[in-house]
A and B are shown apart, each in its own frame.
Chain A
Amino acid sequence: MGKGKAYEQKSIDYYSYISDLGNWNAVYKVIFSMGGLITVIGADSLWISLVTILFMLFLSVGVGRIPMKAYLRLMKIPAAFLLMGGAAIMVQIGRGHNSIFYISFFQTKLYITKDSLLLAVNVTLKALAAVSAFYMLTLSTPMGEIISVFRRLHVPALILELMHLIYRYIFILSETNQKQKDAAKSRLGYCDMKTSFHTFSSEMANLLVLSMKKADMYYDAMEARGYEGTGIFWEETKTVTGKQLMYGALYTLLLMLVFIVLRRNV
């Protein structure tokens, strides 16, 4: 794997630890991000979506200093869903009286109307806006802090504990799997289709066995460190500063401006 590739492999989790928005108060970020999300899907407006996409880009890349290239790559993750979902919404089937484009398809017609085209564009932008609002949170907030917000929302302790443990175990298992894969590859385990299937499923079976064995071990380790049925996790206190509030106010102001302009035009 080349150096460039290694850079591309960086995950959302990685950025959540290095973002300059990392020192923002987590509850505030959740409210900010959720506010954006709800506004976008509630307002259902092209302009609100556009403003949100740009503002969240500004926050994550401009203020949070996530590399632009990485941000754009992350925005491409839902591309497949957007394209296929968009196509299904845009293309209509039937007689198609007021279509702007159509092709015959067996006995019927596949066509696009102005409305369906607009709807598809609107939904796509709305989805991208929602994703960027959510990225603002996930690209700047480590999982531990997100879970602590859930704790404040009175999610049962058992679920929180499961979340903490699952988060940790995901990395342990994925590291183990990486080693399995390297070992298998070096022994030509992925040389052709049939072998790959066989190797992959053996890997998974083995991984399950390993994970169950590890689970037993980890419980003993936890108990040895005084675990008595509730996991207690350290939380950093981060205060809401005026600067953080200013960005929120700026976003709200922009949204209000868009609302006023839109209303005037109607």
Chain B
Amino acid sequence: MSTKQKKMIFTLAVVSVIMGFSQRAYGMHIMEGYLSPKYCIAWGVLSIPFLVTGYLSIKKKLKDNRKNITLLAMAGAFIFLISSLKIPSVTGSCSHMTGTGLGAILFGPTAVSILGVIVLLFQAILLAHGGLTSLGANTFSMAIAGPLLSYGIFQLCKKLKVNPMVSVFLAAFFGDIFTYCITSFQLAIAYPSEEGGVITSMGKFLGVFAPTQLPLAVLEGILTVLIMIALKTYANQELKLVNLNLEEN
């Protein structure tokens, strides 16, 4: 019985240490050096088609109007800032939004892929979140998969005539969750379990990051809705500038 208790206390201690350290909960950037070269390259290659599409769309946008360059750069800086700012959170620890959902809704998924890759690179260089070797994997999960899903959900809701604010919440929430699932999957195939392989391993990574990522996703959804309400109230003109009009739906 005493050994059982000891183990119990040990486990609780480990959990509390992890919880203590996870006070700064960022979006899940896979850190530098965490993936083997094989996966670094594979995820990078997988991202290329999306990045090329993004590049071409941005190029076209600039051809239409040269002035879009400062607009795009501001959008990039805005995404960087929103993902590095502390948000008020329930537990008193500080968390950060990922900004994927908001970015995709405001600027569209193609532009976000290129802006996202630059933002991720800057986060690695300036904030040491993520890294250069894991840039491909992070780009795929945060600048491509998440925004694409967010955008898809937002458009689908528009077609189904769902309340615009509900659709904003769903887009941001699921964009976040999807990013977190993809990242867990990326970690799981890099480090499969001894028993049960990739699937068990994915369960482990999902479980370990769940306490920080699930509340974060809800929070991200709520904040994105509040931001969109504020924008709709005060800045309909500017929203039209970035090709979004919430009045339509």
Contacts and interface: CB of A to CB of B under 8 A. Distances in A.
A131 B231 contact: no
Nearest to A120: B191
Contact of B33 (A129, A166, A172, A205): A129
Interface string B230-243: 11001100100110
A215 B70 contact: yes
Contacts of A13: 126
Nearest to B29: A81
A87 interface: yes
A135 B223 CA distance: 33
B121 to A, nearest CB: 8
Which of B90, B191, B194, B228 gathers the greatest number of chain A CB atoms within 10 Å? B194
Contacts of B59: 158
A72 interface: no
A85 B34 contact: yes
B159 interface: no
A18 interface: no
B175 to A, nearest CB: 16
B88 A12 contact: no
B32 A79 contact: no
A213 B229 CA distance: 19
B242 to A, nearest CB: 7
B126 A201 contact: no
B195 interface: yes
A209 B31 CA distance: 33
A134 B227 contact: no
Interface string B1-35: 00000011001001001100111111011111111
Contact of B128 (A77, A89, A94): A77
Interface string A159-173: 101110111011011
Contacts of B204: 88, 91, 93
A44 B128 CA distance: 21
A146 interface: yes
B33 A80 contact: no
Nearest to A38: B37
Interface residues of A, number: 85
B156 interface: no
Given A88-B204, A205-B230, A44 B235 contact: no
Contacts of B201: 88
A12 B125 contact: yes
B77 A170 contact: yes
Interface in A179-197: 190, 193, 196-197
Nearest to A78: B31
B149 interface: no
A149 B206 CA distance: 37
B202 to A, nearest CB: 10
A130 B131 contact: yes
A209 B234 CA distance: 9
B97 to A, nearest CB: 9
Contact of B208 (A37, A84, A216): A84
Interface in B173-198: 187, 191, 193-196
Contacts of A190: 88
11 contacts: A41-B37, A79-B21, A85-B187, A88-B201, A131-B33, A131-B131, A198-B226, A201-B227, A204-B230, A206-B230, A206-B234
Given A126-B34, A219-B70, 14 more contacts: A12-B128, A87-B208, A126-B33, A131-B32, A158-B59, A162-B118, A166-B73, A166-B122, A170-B80, A190-B88, A205-B228, A205-B235, A212-B242, A219-B69
In the A-B complex, the 6 residue pairs with the closest CB atoms: A130-B33, A201-B226, A205-B230, A165-B73, A94-B195, A196-B88
Interface of A: 11-13, 34, 37-38, 40-42, 44, 74, 77-85, 87-89, 91-96, 103, 113, 115-116, 119, 123, 126-131, 134-135, 138, 143, 146, 156, 158-159, 161-163, 165-167, 169-170, 172-174, 177, 190, 193, 196-198, 200-202, 204-209, 211-216, 218-219, 222, 229
